[in-house]
Chain A
Amino acid sequence: MTKGQPINRRNFLRTGTAVSGIALAAPTLLRASSYPDRNINVVIPTREGGGADRNFRAFTSIWKEKLGTDFEPGFFPGASGRVGYEIYMGKNEPDAYNLIFGNMGPEVLNWAMQEPSFDIDDYLYFGRVDTDPGALFVGAESPLQTLDDVIAEGKKRRLNVGTSRMAHPASIGLLSLGEATGADFNLIPLSGGKNTVAGAVTGEVDFSVLTSGSVIAAGDSVKTLLVFGENRVGEALDNAPDINDAFDLDLPEMLSSRAFGIHQKAVDDYPDRFEVLTRTFKETFEDERLLTAYVEGRGTPEYLNYGGIEECAEFKAAMLELGARFKPLLTGA
């Protein structure tokens, strides 16, 4: 029975797939010219049902039309995204049918803290979807109600500041604020956005920093005092000022930034396929329905921000550099 099985299995496969209309049996050469001829798998290195999930669905609802094929997300959370990158994306064929939808902020920053087992140039980010600046916020009932309160208090005593994890752009934003103002901050990583908001609201910490998307979602239980970048949403973040304007600084924006990545090997081996991907990705941004899809998916359309290969590479390099600079503070080493 075991001997005959491979043949059976192959037969079944072939009949099944042929009936379902997928041209698997076609020669490889032919396939290359008609890319994509099957669904594209996307590794998402975070939990299902979160912000990445929402953004992914909204964005691919338009992109799939441009590309003419569907996207199949697989959620692989764990080890700050590293499970997704190293175990699952690493195992997938580098054939341009496997992409990763990562966050160039915290995930890349994490690589600067702990060197991953893969070469960081094995993956190439080619399409930035959005940029979401970090924000500083207090609980609605906090005694610290203005930015001046925070700085003044921070000069008197060491303030405990909640963050989702040490290696996060918002944490770096806070450390920069401390450097610029002389206030003393003690970062407390509260493991995840939910706890970080709860920590600020209940007074576990004096205040918190987080990606602004999560701060907006927390509604009126919190009050935003400062944005580590441009406040593109105004009222939704309580009209909080940009850190650079408030303190006359010239810091880079501390962003979370979701982007599609691909194996560098796939780019080298299948340049034509890669061209199709980048072209249709750009076209998606030009489609006005994208905005509607974002609004419907409860995303923050103001944060949509197209970036190609160059912008992504620039961002990645900036993150690695920031990470290297703040590494001693963020790793306790």
Chain B
Amino acid sequence: MGETGTILVEVFFQTISYWWVIIPTIFLGLIVGGVPGFSAANTIIILMPLTLAMDLETGLIFMVSLYCAARMGAGIPAILVNIPGTAGAAATPLDGYPMTKQGRGQQALAMTFVASSLGGLLTTVIALATMPVLARVGFYMHSVEMIVVMLFGISLIASIAAQDMVKGLIAGFLGLMIGSIGTDVVYATPRATFGFLELYDGIPLIPALVGLFAVSEAFVIIEKRLIITDDARKAMATPSWHATFEGASIALKRWWHIAWTSVIGLIIGVIPGAGASIASFVAYQQSRSFSKTPEAYGTGHPEGLIAPESANNGVTSGTLVPLLVLGIPGGATAAIMLVVMQFHGVSFGPSLFENNPKVGYGMFMAMAVSYLFMMFTILPLSRYMSRVTTVPTIYLAPMIISFTLVGAFVPREYMFDMYLALAFGVLGYVARRTGYHVAAILIGVILGPLLERYFLWSLKKSDGDIMVLFSSTLGNVLWVCLALSIVLPIWFETRRKRREIVIQ
């Protein structure tokens, strides 16, 4: 242990000395994270020749800080203009954007930055300390258990739909149905693809995301001169640092909330193949379930913003664990890191910490240091970024549309995806105007295919026996937790109401 301690201290100072790599990379990461369609993974691929030319240490620090910063960057447009840049940020606008509309964009950004950095930092430290144990999570969370985890996220549809259950369920199940487009994961039989080969691999997420949220929103906001309310505009006329501090302190006061939601992210991140989108929806759902004010979610509630943001940054450190300990990358970015490491002759897996402990600890340290640096470099930016909301909608709406349609094109570079984003935009617009929740559709589109995948794997493994769903102990424990997290809030709610009546 003493030896490990020495290595850690040594690696920490070594990483700090790379500030000249980390700080510019943080800004690059914020930008690529903020542009829909771009992500840390495809940026690293594009910059691959550059990354390979760097020495191993610089390359790793570069990739790790880009990864963290991109994750955080995706939250910025999600909050300010309702454009989640990646699926991992899809839960962020649920409460982030309403805050912006109320003129509290600056607070929301500060809150996100604090929650993301703290959540990221905390989970990195936890991951570092408990790596060998954490890596085992993947050995217990198989497809059956993952089905239940997905249902945690999907049960959000019901909560969102609370006001008008029938319409909410129509939206949610339509989303699930749209999410089922594409070939089935077992025999690759195409379903409802309208004859488009581009849909064989399922609905691409970014076009669905930006179409439903951003394009449809752009058509709605032109009714008003600004996206923020008149009162908010007056308040924002005198910009100050006050709002940033206010946001930061709101987040800091909820440090416990940050802590447990980021741990949800960490645990989901450790499971190979699961990702930030699941984590942020599950964290949001959990946060809402155990809140005293569940009805405030969706209207600009701080906890509704903190939960998904700390969770998706928890995922970032989580994905490193199976990569380093088992040699299996948890996500796309981790897979590319693996390629770069192999290029430098470092092999991952059980032997990494014996042969190259500095590389192993170094990656976590790079992550911790990046989050530390981010806290101080990004927080001040919230004041300037939030000015976007004072741009009149007549200029903003066309910009949002072109920006997002372009973003829809980027991940696969198919023109088809632009048309698809437009189609989702129209669907989202109709839904908004007629009182259907776009978030419910979106949860279906994002989580539906993942749920189906785990479901089909389980069924195929058991030769079609549906009882496989209740075949594992851990799975059954999770089923009970799921039932509790749905039933308990209802029970609390009725008890609270009864008390209120008694008091009155």
> Do the two chains touch directly in the complex (Cβ atoms below 8 Å apart)?
yes
Residues in chain A within 8 A of chain B (CB atoms): 48-49, 75-80, 82-83, 86-87, 110, 113-114, 140, 158, 160, 165-167, 186, 188-191, 194-195, 197-198, 201-205, 217-221, 298, 330-333
Known A166-B186, A167-B188, A201-B326; contact A194-B335, beta-carbon cutoff 8 A: yes
Contact A298 B342, beta carbon cutoff 8 Å:
yes
Known A82-B197, A86-B197; contact A219-B349, beta-carbon cutoff 8 A: yes
Contact B348 A221, beta carbon cutoff 8 Å:
yes
> Which of B137-145, B225-233, B421-429 lies at the interface with chain A?
B137-145
Contact of A204 among B142, B198, B335, B412 (CB under 8 A): B142
B173-208, CB under 8 A of A: which get 1 and which 0?
Answer: 000000000010111111000000110110000000
Known A78-B201, A186-B463, A198-B272; contact A219-B347, beta-carbon cutoff 8 A: yes
A residues less than 8 Å from B412 (CB atoms): 77-78
Known A186-B463, A189-B186; contact A219-B348, beta-carbon cutoff 8 A: yes
> Once the chains are docked, how many angstroms separate the CA of A48 from the CA of B332?
12
B334-351, CB under 8 A of A: which get 1 and which 0?
Answer: 011011001100011111
* Residue among B42, B273, B351 with the highest chain A CB neighbour number at 10 A: B273
| Chain A residue at minimal CB-CB distance from B143 | A204
> Once the chains are docked, how many angstroms separate the CA of A194 from the CA of B139?
16
Q: How far is the CB of A106 from chain B (nearest CB, A)?
A: 11
> Which of B2-10, B369-377, B453-461 lies at the interface with chain A?
B453-461
Contact A220 B339, beta carbon cutoff 8 Å:
no
Contact A194 B329, beta carbon cutoff 8 Å:
yes
B residues less than 8 Å from A298 (CB atoms): 339, 342-343
Contact of A221 among B42, B201, B350, B463 (CB under 8 A): B350
Instruction: Give the 5 A-B residue pairs with the shortest CB-CB distance, closest first.
Output: A79-B200, A221-B327, A198-B272, A221-B349, A332-B187
If A78-B198, A166-B187, A217-B338 are given as contacts, then 13 extra A-B residue pairs at C-beta distance below 8 Å, sorted by A number, are A48-B42, A82-B200, A114-B190, A189-B185, A191-B453, A194-B272, A201-B326, A203-B139, A204-B143, A298-B339, A298-B343, A330-B187, A332-B187
A residues less than 8 Å from B190 (CB atoms): 114
B residues less than 8 Å from A195 (CB atoms): 272-273
Q: How far is the CB of A308 from chain B (nearest CB, A)?
A: 30
Contact A79 B197, beta carbon cutoff 8 Å:
yes
Residues in chain B within 8 A of chain A (CB atoms): 42, 45, 48, 138-139, 142-143, 183, 185-190, 197-198, 200-201, 272-273, 322, 326-329, 335-336, 338-339, 342-343, 347-351, 412-414, 453, 457, 460-461, 463
Contact of A218 among B139, B187, B328, B457 (CB under 8 A): B328
28 A–B contacts, CB within 8 A, in A order: A48-B42, A49-B339, A75-B413, A77-B412, A78-B198, A79-B198, A80-B188, A87-B198, A140-B349, A158-B463, A160-B461, A165-B188, A167-B188, A194-B273, A194-B329, A194-B335, A195-B273, A198-B138, A201-B138, A201-B328, A202-B139, A202-B328, A203-B142, A219-B348, A219-B349, A220-B347, A221-B327, A332-B186
Known A167-B188, A218-B327; contact A186-B45, beta-carbon cutoff 8 A: no
B residues less than 8 Å from A110 (CB atoms): 188
| Chain A residue at minimal CB-CB distance from B322 | A198
* Residue among A158, A198, A218 with the highest chain B CB neighbour number at 10 A: A198
Contact of B328 among A82, A114, A194 (CB under 8 A): A194
| Chain B residue at minimal CB-CB distance from A220 | B349
A residues less than 8 Å from B187 (CB atoms): 166, 330-333
Contact B188 A221, beta carbon cutoff 8 Å:
no
> Once the chains are docked, how many angstroms separate the CA of A114 from the CA of B187?
10
* SS class, residues of chain A in contact with chain B: mixed
Q: How far is the CB of B134 from chain A (nearest CB, A)?
A: 13
Known A49-B339, A158-B463; contact A219-B197, beta-carbon cutoff 8 A: no
> Once the chains are docked, how many angstroms separate the CA of A220 from the CA of B412?
33
> Once the chains are docked, how many angstroms separate the CA of A209 from the CA of B201?
22
> Once the chains are docked, how many angstroms separate the CA of A221 from the CA of B272?
14
Contact B343 A113, beta carbon cutoff 8 Å:
no
Contact A202 B142, beta carbon cutoff 8 Å:
yes
> Once the chains are docked, how many angstroms separate the CA of A80 from the CA of B182?
12
> Once the chains are docked, how many angstroms separate the CA of A192 from the CA of B343?
21
Contact A87 B197, beta carbon cutoff 8 Å:
yes
A residues less than 8 Å from B197 (CB atoms): 78-79, 82-83, 86-87
Q: How far is the CB of B377 from chain A (nearest CB, A)?
A: 29
* Residue among B143, B188, B413, B463 with the highest chain A CB neighbour number at 10 A: B188
> Once the chains are docked, how many angstroms separate the CA of A221 from the CA of B453?
25
B residues less than 8 Å from A77 (CB atoms): 201, 412
B residues less than 8 Å from A83 (CB atoms): 197-198, 200, 414
Contact B188 A113, beta carbon cutoff 8 Å:
yes
| Chain A residue at minimal CB-CB distance from B195 | A117
Contact of B461 among A79, A188, A218, A221 (CB under 8 A): A188
Contact A197 B328, beta carbon cutoff 8 Å:
yes
Contact A198 B188, beta carbon cutoff 8 Å:
no
Q: How far is the CB of B358 from chain A (nearest CB, A)?
A: 18
Contact B461 A78, beta carbon cutoff 8 Å:
no
Q: How far is the CB of A163 from chain B (nearest CB, A)?
A: 11
Contact A186 B143, beta carbon cutoff 8 Å:
no
> Once the chains are docked, how many angstroms separate the CA of A158 from the CA of B464?
13
Contact A48 B45, beta carbon cutoff 8 Å:
yes
Contact B349 A198, beta carbon cutoff 8 Å:
no
> Once the chains are docked, how many angstroms separate the CA of A142 from the CA of B21?
41
Contact A114 B188, beta carbon cutoff 8 Å:
yes
> Once the chains are docked, how many angstroms separate the CA of A72 from the CA of B468?
49
Q: How far is the CB of B480 from chain A (nearest CB, A)?
A: 23
B residues less than 8 Å from A333 (CB atoms): 187
| Chain B residue at minimal CB-CB distance from A85 | B197
| Chain B residue at minimal CB-CB distance from A205 | B461
Known A78-B200, A188-B457; contact A220-B351, beta-carbon cutoff 8 A: yes
| Chain B residue at minimal CB-CB distance from A296 | B343
| Chain B residue at minimal CB-CB distance from A54 | B339
* Residue among A87, A194, A218 with the highest chain B CB neighbour number at 10 A: A194
> Once the chains are docked, how many angstroms separate the CA of A76 from the CA of B335?
19
Q: How far is the CB of B412 from chain A (nearest CB, A)?
A: 7
